[in-house]
Structure 1
Amino acid sequence: MHLPTQPSRCYGLPIELVLEVLQEAQYHDLVPRYKWLKNYALVCRAWSPYAQQLLFAYVALLGGADHCKIFRKIVALSAARDPEHAAFLKSSICVLGMVIDHQPFYADIVHLCPNLRELHLSLYHGSFRPDVLRSLAEGGVRLKALRVKTYHYLPMFQLLSVLPSLEYLEVDCNSVLGNTLIIPPLYPPAWPLRHLRYSNLRRNTHLFLEWALSGPGAVARESLEVLEVVSPSFDPSTIATLGIAPTLRSLTLQRLFDSDDLTALTSLQEIAVVHPSGTPPTFRLLPAGVVHVALGAIPKTSGCATTVAGLAAYHERLGGSLRALTYNRKCDSSVDPPLMDVDMLYHFCAGRGIEFRLMDPPYGFYPGERVPLKPVRSFPRDLPMSSRRPLHAQGEELPWKTRRKATFARKIVNVASRAFGGTIPAMALAKP
């Protein structure tokens, strides 16, 4: 990537090291602080372009067409004053987020970003115009990752059919109007998908997976390593018929029933069950080689006992292959009753030398945390360190049994929760 001419060293340090320091220094407890980057850009001339590069790495235009018009105008004014610097800022954009309502502007924004690799879209309109779709196809050939939330099925299928280079795809259809999934006569490209995440809580919507894996030459079937499906009509036992069983290394499901046979997934190393409370999984038909299990909250003691018994049987049957257990559950000791489920899972892990990861809030990550889309090298995956996650050292009291002093933000959250009957994450009160 071209950078403006700057001294090769700054305060005795190579500028490459300065860039690495700035990249790490923009985060506070895993959450980016863009105001800090703005301040770093004002420190000195040597720092300025590198701080700006990080500041422009992710651009969010979440106000629809109005934000896109303003962004396009700013880029044009900057190019008129300093073409080289404007080109540098445009080349710094790697991740772009947009809310698409009116269409003519969005393809232009994509074309303004020559190094764009990841696109986050919210699709509010009913379909793409042919000229806009063609233009998006021309600008999207370099895209490696797409996160899309759609309110209508058709524009989602139209967009996916013209992006041939996707390796990471996240599709959220929970806001679609209407209950029927209609697949148009469009075919997916021969994309080399590594990671596919699909969420649709309506029934009879699992057919999207068959569509996504049916491209020319079935390249996606040979490359898919991570599959996350939250859909009530998806049957995990059909994974073998999808043709991805030999390559799949990580699987996330809404529920896992006793009859779900996963023994054909010979490469599986990680399994996550998002909502295990209704039918606690026993992992009876799990293949050998799984080293990491992740579970959602199991509030009933009897259900947790069933799950622990199933994990113990699996662990012993395969000679102790499990190395980590992640439990996604809120653990506010000042509000919750005794957390029997957490205790049971913790002692199961402690007695067998298994790493126990208690995640709060559910599903693992806080808003804004850096969770990069990249190939998974090994399992269990590294857990980002954060002071907001309870850690336990040998000989200490169990963290979920310790009454922690509430912060000012947490006090506001608790008051709002009691007033409105809901749960507001503390991060929702933080400034962006």
Structure 2
Amino acid sequence: MFPLTAHHNAIERFAFEGALTTASFYLANMGLLNFKPFTSHTRAISHDIVLDLKVALPARKPRPQRPQRKAVHLPVEIIMHILEAGYFSDEFKPDDQLLRNCALVCRVWSGPAQKLLFRSVTLRDQLAFDSFKLAIDSSSDKGTMLADSVVRMRVVLDHNQPGHLSETSFARAVASCPKLYELGLFIYGRGPSGGCSGIGNDVRDSIVDSTLSRPSPSFSRNTLSRLRLGPRIAALQYGSSCADDEYLFQLLDVWPSVRSLEVRGVPPQLPATASISYSGALEELHMNFQSKPSTDFMNWLLQNSGRSMRILDLEREPSNDLLEHLVGRHASTLESLALPSCCSRESAAVVGQCEKLKEFRVEHSLGTPLVYKMLPEGIQHVALGVDRDTPLEAVLSMVKTRDELQVLTLQVWEGGLRHPAMPSLKMECAARGIELRITRDVRVFRTMIRGDPVPSVSFPRMKSLSNVQHMRAVSL
């Protein structure tokens, strides 16, 4: 038998040690106890706990495969309509950058975009000609198609620039485009032999012409022969920095088919070797000379145009005698007349002689209001510059009394929109169904009022791709 006291002491000791052990275990697992006096155990027990959070998902049912859709191919006609809608930029010029981007869309778009892109070509140097010649290679169908697409060409012959376009390359480029309708040729610089443009110095041409004396700059025989074998040019734009060259006279001799002529720069001097007169009959003439042209040159140029001249555009202020000579000579046939300004009663009287006038244009804002009273009943288009001092009351009166008037174009200069008569003019045009076109960009104004060099029964003439189709048909 154990003593009762001893028994109780043993039980109390066991209970006390057990409680300490249990408390030590909980505190240690809670991180609140890290010293040994509270536990009777010296061995640490480690626990590895692994949690599996993955949940088994039900197997996905296979989806039925959709039938592959076939690519939709637009007809070439629709693609052409889309590209033609964006052909002109806001300045009424071919948007070459847009057409280049469209040519990179896909093969189906490439052909129509390039065809539109080649309708108007500019050659400024020999490198540009080399690329152009490679593109219109007649040995391929694509090259032939691109060559047939060219209806406008602008050529710069500048001997002052390195790698300038040669005379031979110019002739080859023109001869390679059978449907070329409009050609612009601009010649600058002075060659080492005294020629203003430095052209005609090719080795081949110099051998052919070694025995010929060419005191005035002119095209070689080979160049003229190539040009004669090429297309019949109907519209020619020409500019030169030399007065004694013979280029213009040679070109008009090669192409009596020219009906629209634009000449600018230095007025040419009539050479001694020139024929009696230009054999062709001009329908429209645009002049922008730095000085007054000679009477001999004007008589030579317009000798056979007395009954055919319909459009006369003078970009620089003419003298009274020149205006009287040109307008008075063709007053019975003129349908369109453009002057820088019309400030005197004398000039207004000259305009009043044109009884068949359908279009009258002035760019400057200053002018005599008398000229708008002198315009005939059949006037269809009037274009003028407007500032705060322009006599718009006379224009407003003309709008009210000319039943044939269809379009009024305004080039707004400083203060033009704040003109007191501008609201009344807008309301009157709207009431009578007259189209009112307003621009602040003189470049856009000049492009809008000129149009394409094609025959027209109404004015203003427009720039459109339908005119290009007419150009292609005429060149056939």
TM-score, length-normalised on structure 2?
0.63
Q: 8 Å contact 1:201–1:232 — kept in the other structure?
A: no
Q: Residue 333 of structure 1 aligns with which residue?
A: none
Q: Residue 53 of structure 1 aligns with which residue?
A: 115
Q: For residues 204 and 160 of structure 1, what CA distance do their matches in structure 2 show? A: 17
Give aligned-pair identity as a percent.
Answer: 27
Counterpart of 2:234 (choices 122, 140, 144) is 144
Identify if the C-alpha distance between structure 1 residues 287 and 33 changes in structure 2 by more than 3 Å, giving closer, same or farther. closer
Counterpart of 2:94 (choices 14, 32, 55) is 32
Gaps of 5+ in 1: 1-9, 331-335, 385-432
Q: Residue 429 of structure 1 aligns with which residue?
A: none
Identify if the C-alpha distance between structure 1 residues 165 and 62 changes in structure 2 by more than 3 Å, giving closer, same or farther. same
1:344 aligns with 2:344: no
Q: Kindly state the Cα deviation for residue 312 of structure 1 after the two structures are TM-superposed.
A: 5.1
Counterpart of 1:203 (choices 284, 287, 292) is 292
Deviations 1:45-72 (A, max 9, x none): 4433222211222221113x44334544
Q: Kindly state the Cα deviation for residue 229 of structure 1 after the two structures are TM-superposed.
A: 1.2
Q: Kindly state the Cα deviation for residue 40 of structure 1 after the two structures are TM-superposed.
A: 3.0
TM-score, length-normalised on structure 1?
0.68
Identify if the C-alpha distance between structure 1 residues 368 and 94 changes in structure 2 by more than 3 Å, giving closer, same or farther. farther
Range with bigger deviation, 360-369 or 288-297: 360-369
1:325 aligns with 2:408: yes
RMSD: 3.5
Number of positions where the alignment pairs a residue of Structure 1 with one of Structure 2? 347
Q: Kindly state the Cα deviation for residue 364 of structure 1 after the two structures are TM-superposed.
A: 3.8
State the AA in 1 paired with 2:309.
L
Q: Residue 83 of structure 1 aligns with which residue?
A: 140
Gaps of 5+ in 2: 1-70, 159-165, 189-194, 197-216, 465-476
Q: For residues 232 and 151 of structure 1, what CA distance do their matches in structure 2 show? A: 20
Q: Residue 248 of structure 1 aligns with which residue?
A: 334
The alignment partner of 2:147 has SS state of helix
Structure richer in helix, relative to its length = 2
Q: 8 Å contact 2:281–2:302 — kept in the other structure?
A: no
The alignment partner of 1:105 has SS state of helix
The alignment partner of 1:50 has SS state of helix
Q: Higher Cα Rg: structure 1 or 2?
A: 2
Deviations 1:140-187 (A, max 9, x none): 5511222222212432333233211122222222xx3xxx75222424
Q: For residues 311 and 47 of structure 1, what CA distance do their matches in structure 2 show? A: 48
Identify if the C-alpha distance between structure 1 residues 365 and 251 changes in structure 2 by more than 3 Å, giving closer, same or farther. same
The alignment partner of 2:421 has SS state of helix
Aligned positions of 1:127-166 closer than 5 A: 127-135=217-225, 137-139=227-229, 141-153=231-243, 154=245, 155-166=247-258
Q: 8 Å contact 1:31–1:370 — kept in the other structure?
A: no
Identify if the C-alpha distance between structure 1 residues 319 and 15 changes in structure 2 by more than 3 Å, giving closer, same or farther. closer
Range with bigger deviation, 128-137 or 367-376: 367-376
The alignment partner of 2:300 has SS state of helix
Q: For residues 295 and 112 of structure 2, what CA distance do their matches in structure 1 show? A: 44
Q: For residues 235 and 463 of structure 2, what CA distance do their matches in structure 1 show? A: 22
Aligned positions of 1:219-258 closer than 5 A: 220-235=305-320, 236-239=323-326, 241-242=328-329, 244-256=330-342, 257-258=344-345
Q: 8 Å contact 1:328–1:364 — kept in the other structure?
A: no
Q: For residues 95 and 238 of structure 2, what CA distance do their matches in structure 1 show? A: 24
Q: Kindly state the Cα deviation for residue 271 of structure 1 after the two structures are TM-superposed.
A: 0.6
1:62 aligns with 2:113: no
The alignment partner of 2:334 has SS state of coil
Q: 8 Å contact 1:346–1:356 — kept in the other structure?
A: no
1:168 aligns with 2:269: no
The alignment partner of 1:356 has SS state of strand
The alignment partner of 1:197 has SS state of strand
State the AA in 1 paired with 2:128.
H
Q: Kindly state the Cα deviation for residue 99 of structure 1 after the two structures are TM-superposed.
A: 0.8
1:111 aligns with 2:175: yes
